[in-house]
């Protein structure tokens, strides 16, 4: 019987830890590691793989799936899957698994960190002190938390963690998510998108990037927000029309933004966002911590073992898929 083969074709950082490779070997899983950047390399190294494993870069495109003749699953380590052709994979009976549990705490913490850094104006006060200025008062204090409204667009694992962690503050939380069934016992209030935007003092977006969410927020939506509101994005840059967001910040439709993700990454060195004092920026690192890499590897390992032993993975993004394999 042919061994269950996993082809790791894209990843960044340190080599695969031995505590990952050794259990795979014990479970009879043949792991090959060959970073691929072209269709030819992908076909060469993964055509006979049962699972093709990627971390982030879009090496697997729709037109390359035909060369993965044996593939029954794609493992995308992480939560986002906009760099995997999910619809085409589903047509071919390929499961698209991911590991959203690896860093949802980190991303939630970062979301809150961006929001608090703006509300409390941590960045400008730090800069003033380092520039030799002791300025304790002034116009930069424009926000507070008590009695305000936080709006969450999308209510998956990360947004639910944000809501839980922010529940200790004296705020209301409103949620818009057309795909999530409301829990009647939840302390959040479910509203439509326009209502969320117009009623919230702070808006944080937490949805996957797909054809339905691309530019979910544009000029029309941003103009609904309060002039003193703050916008936070730690999911994917293209869910927001970045040009419209820049215009909103420049013209005062909204007051400030905290951004970890952008339409094009790395962020262009000429982007107006880099010169805006009412914006806090980080380079797509919301999921990073001293624990995150181990979590990525551990959940990926568990997913691969589940698939090799005929079990559905804990998380996969195409629940309607008619899998090539018989799974329990």
Helix (H, G, I), strand (E, B) or coil at 119: helix
Which residue in the list 76, 160, 236, 242 is annotated as catalytic?
A: 236
Cβ burial of 162 (10 Å; 0-12, 13-18, 19+) is buried
C-beta separation of 14 from 24 below 8 A: no
Cβ burial of 108 (10 Å; 0-12, 13-18, 19+) is buried
Assess whether 146 carries a catalytic annotation.
Answer: no
DSSP 101: G
Assess whether 236 carries a catalytic annotation.
Answer: yes
Assess whether 142 carries a catalytic annotation.
Answer: no
Which residue in the list 265, 277, 309, 311 is annotated as catalytic?
A: 265
**CA separation for the pair 103, 159 (Å, rounded):** 12
- List the one residue out of 68, 56, 64, 3 whose CA is nearest residue 38: 64
Question: Which residues, 6+ apart, have CB-to-CB distance to 134 below 8 Å?
Answer: 128
Which residue in the list 284, 288, 302, 314 is annotated as catalytic?
A: 284
Alpha-helical (H) ranges within the chain are: 18-26, 39-46, 86-91, 104-119, 122-130, 157-166, 193-199, 219-222, 242-251, 292-308
C-beta separation of 39 from 45 below 8 A: no
Catalytic residues, by residue number, are: 236, 265, 284
């Amino acid at each position: 019987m042919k061994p269950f083969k996993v082809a790791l074709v894209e990843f960044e950082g340190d080599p695969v830890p031995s505590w990952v490779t050794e259990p795979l070997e014990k479970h009879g899983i043949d792991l090959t590691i060959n970073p691929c950047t072209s269709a030819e390399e992908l076909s060469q190294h993964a055509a006979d793989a049962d699972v093709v494993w990627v971390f982030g870069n879009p090496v697997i495109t729709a037109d390359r799936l035909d060369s993965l003749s044996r593939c029954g699953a794609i493992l995308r380590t992480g939560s986002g899957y906009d760099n995997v052709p999910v619809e085409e994979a589903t047509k071919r009976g390929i499961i698209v698994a991911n590991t959203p549990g690896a860093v949802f705490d980190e991303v939630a913490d970062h979301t809150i960190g961006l929001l608090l850094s703006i509300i409390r104006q941590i960045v400008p006060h730090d800069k003033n002190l380092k520039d030799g200025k002791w300025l304790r008062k002034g116009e930069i204090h424009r926000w507070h938390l008590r009695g305000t409204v936080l709006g969450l667009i999308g209510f998956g694992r990360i947004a639910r963690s944000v809501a839980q962690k922010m529940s200790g503050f004296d705020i209301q939380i409103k949620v818009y998510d057309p795909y999530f069934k409301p829990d009647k016992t939840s302390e959040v209030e479910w509203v439509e998108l326009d209502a969320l935007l117009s009623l919230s003092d702070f808006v944080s977006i937490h949805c996957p990037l797909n054809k339905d969410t691309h530019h979910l927020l544009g000029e029309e939506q941003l103009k609904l927000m309060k002039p003193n509101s703050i916008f936070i994005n730690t999911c994917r840059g293209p869910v927001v029309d970045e040009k419209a967001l820049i215009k909103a910040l420049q013209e005062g439709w909204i007051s400030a933004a905290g951004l970890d993700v952008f339409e094009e990454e790395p962020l262009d060195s000429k982007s107006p966002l880099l010169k805006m004092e009412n914006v806090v920026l980080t380079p797509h690192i919301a999921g990073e911590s001293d624990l995150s890499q181990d979590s990525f590897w551990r959940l990926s390992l568990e997913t691969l073992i589940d698939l090799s032993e005929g079990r559905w993975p804990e998380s996969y993004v195409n629940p309607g898929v008619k899998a090539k394999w018989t799974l329990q």
